[in-house]
């Protein structure tokens, strides 16, 4: 096992927003608080310690102990839960949807990032204790986003009726999915483990929340991971004052809208707030709450509340209120003694919209850390890359650019179209100066001819490139096939493949290798050779 780190920006798969954040560009600094480095964590510890109430710790520990009552938790996880009662214990949190069988590969990277960062901070700040937390997005209702995973180029799909918070979904229909999936696994030791993991999770639990907790716990319990399902009345009660404020004052809409006005001057806006960023939650539905003329209506239902009635409903049944994407991050920070949220580029982009909202309700804005990303390459693939003289950075190039570059490197023809363009430009500049002195009306014709000649050179360059690619067709075929293996559909494999493909081959060594290679505070992309 060997690993290498390269800048995220060198892969070409990360947005301007994330690149500027990693580089601490002045244009983005107003949208975050402390930066993910040791100095930032020292400040965050002091802020969170002084602002997080002991009563909230008691509620959190009680709920977690209740949730873990029937879970085969490790001693380290149980100790971590108990430690949350102490004012010197803090969480490092990542979150993810309840994707079928964990969904994309980066599910592992998120959680291991949280585990490794917790361990690193424990070494750097020995007077404090740090607990890795996986926040299950149990209240999401986008079933089409989570009802499948990819395995060796094919989709494994769970078909069932949609409706309501996905964490409450029964597991009907997963027996058929299990049988279909099992047919493709074989009978190796690792295949047996994968089958057992799927079977125990989805055929021996009552809902999707329990099944997902089982899988995450089985994979990571030895590292003390704590898994939280925040769809719980006691936790919602802690958050109720902020939900009341949302219903009465629409605080999130006002604060986030103002931030977006500034953010969109330089960056793409990820999500837009609604006037009220709460859903009304029942067993089979999760619908928006809309205020109209003093009446609070639940979208697509017959439910209507007066102001007094909806406040009474919140007081008696806080579990029926569910924060949306705008308020969920605040909910997390209110109920957890959290220092840092670890997420992907898209997630952190919408967190950057929220700082002013946090400030308006006096909750410390957490450190935002771009999760570890990984490209796994086998020994065989490394040999192929070396034989083709493709570096790790080059393997992320757009396929057309990679092929053009490697064909040129292997071509007997050495001709620089860049030099030709420069020479042509210099000649037309001279001609333009002549025109300016003799007949200025001639300048337009000179410029038009210049553009035409440049376009002609561009077309000749493309024709030469196509001809050279035909001449080196074997090289083109080998590079194309290899890059498709590494970057399926010209995308990072971590977004396309499921962990089971790699676990089938490497078993527990996969987790061990990731645990050793992921360096959260290095803020770089990881190439893992297995």
pLDDT at 425 over 90: no
Contacts of residue 327, defined as CB under 8 A and 6 or more positions apart, other chains included, come to: 242, 243, 246, 252, 277, 278
In the chain, % of residues over pLDDT 70: 96
Check: pTM over 0.75? Answer yes or no: yes
Across 212-221, 347-356, 460-469, 500-509, least confident range: 460-469
Confidence of residue 417 (pLDDT cuts 50, 70, 90): low
- Residue 96's pLDDT is 97
How many C-beta atoms surround the C-beta of residue 471 within 10 A? 15
pLDDT tens by residue, 284-317: 899 999 999 999 999 999 999 999 999 999 999 9
Torsion sign, CA atoms 102, 397, 372, 273:
negative
- Residue 158's pLDDT is 97
Pull the structure tokens for residue 371.
Answer: 């999760």
- Residue 217's pLDDT is 98
Confidence of residue 451 (pLDDT cuts 50, 70, 90): confident
Write down the mean pLDDT value for the chain.
94
Residue 152 has, within 13 A of its CA and on its CB side, a CA count of: 10
**Beta-strand pair 2-6/89-96:** unpaired
Q: Where are the beta strands (DSSP E) in 97-248?
A: 129-136, 148-151, 154-157, 226-229
**Over residues 326-348, mean pLDDT:** 98
pLDDT at 511 over 90: yes
**Over residues 384-410, mean pLDDT:** 92
Contacts of residue 67, defined as CB under 8 A and 6 or more positions apart, other chains included, come to: 213, 227, 228, 229, 232
Pull the structure tokens for residue 15.
Answer: 């947005």
pLDDT: is 276 or 462 the higher one?
Answer: 276
pLDDT at 490 over 60: yes
In the chain, % of residues over pLDDT 90: 84
pLDDT: is 183 or 443 the higher one?
Answer: 183
pLDDT tens by residue, 461-486: 677 667 666 656 888 999 999 999 99
Pull the structure tokens for residue 135.
Answer: 């926040």
**Over residues 116-125, mean pLDDT:** 98
């Amino acid at each position: 096992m060997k690993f290498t780190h390269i800048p995220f920006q060198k892969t070409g798969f990360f947005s301007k927003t994330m690149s500027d954040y990693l580089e601490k560009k002045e244009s983005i600094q107003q949208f975050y608080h402390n930066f993910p480095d040791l100095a930032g964590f020292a400040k965050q510890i002091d802020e969170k310690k002084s602002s997080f109430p002991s009563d909230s710790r008691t509620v959190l520990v009680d709920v977690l102990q209740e949730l873990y009552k029937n879970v085969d938790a490790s001693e380290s996880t149980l100790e971590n839960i108990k430690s949350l009662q102490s004012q010197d214990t803090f969480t490092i949190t990542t979150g993810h949807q309840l994707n079928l069988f964990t969904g994309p590969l980066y599910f592992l990277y998120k959680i291991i990032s949280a585990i490794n960062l917790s361990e690193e901070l424990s070494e750097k700040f020995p007077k404090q204790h740090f607990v890795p937390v996986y926040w299950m997005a149990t209240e999401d209702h986008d079933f089409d986003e989570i009802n499948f995973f990819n395995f060796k180029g094919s989709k494994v799909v769970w078909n069932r009726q949609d409706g309501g918070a996905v964490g409450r979904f029964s597991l009907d229909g997963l027996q058929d999915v299990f049988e279909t999936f099992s047919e493709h696994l074989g009978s190796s030791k690792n295949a047996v483990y994968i089958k057992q993991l799927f079977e125990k999770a989805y055929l021996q639990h009552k809902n999707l929340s329990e099944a997902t907790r089982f899988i995450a716990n089985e994979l990571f319990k030895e590292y003390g991971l704590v898994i939280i399902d925040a769809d719980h009345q006691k936790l919602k009660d802690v958050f109720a004052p902020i939900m009341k404020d949302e219903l009465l004052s629409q605080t999130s809409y006002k604060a986030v809208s103002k931030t977006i006005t500034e953010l969109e001057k330089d960056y793409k806006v990820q999500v837009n707030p609604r006037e009220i960023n709460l859903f009304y939650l029942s067993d089979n539905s999760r619908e928006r709450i809309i205020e109209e003329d003093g009446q609070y209506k639940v979208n697509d239902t017959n439910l209507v509340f007066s102001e007094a009635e909806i406040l009474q409903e919140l007081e008696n049944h806080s579990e029926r209120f569910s924060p949306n994407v705008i308020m969920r991050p605040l909910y997390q920070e209110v109920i957890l003694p959290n220092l840092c949220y670890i997420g992907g580029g898209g997630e952190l982009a919408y967190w950057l919209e929220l700082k002013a909202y946090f400030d308006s309700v006096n909750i410390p804005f957490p450190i935002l850390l771009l999760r570890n990303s990984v490209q796994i390459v086998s020994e065989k693939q490394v040999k192929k890359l070396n034989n083709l003289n493709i570096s790790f950075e080059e393997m992320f190039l757009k396929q057309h650019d990679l092929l053009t570059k490697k064909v040129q490197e292997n071509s007997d023809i050495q001709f620089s179209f860049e030099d030709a363009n420069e020479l042509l430009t210099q000649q037309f500049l001279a001609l333009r100066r002549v025109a300016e002195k003799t007949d200025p009306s001639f300048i337009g014709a000179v410029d038009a001819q210049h553009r035409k000649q440049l376009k002609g050179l561009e077309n000749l360059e493309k024709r030469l490139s196509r001809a050279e690619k035909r001449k080196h067709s074997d090289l083109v075929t080998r590079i194309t096939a290899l890059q498709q293996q590494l970057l399926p559909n010209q995308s990072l494999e971590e977004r396309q493949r499921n962990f089971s493909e790699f676990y089938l081959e490497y078993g527990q060594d996969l987790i061990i290798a990731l645990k050793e290679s992921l360096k959260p505070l290095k803020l770089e992309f990881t190439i893992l050779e297995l």
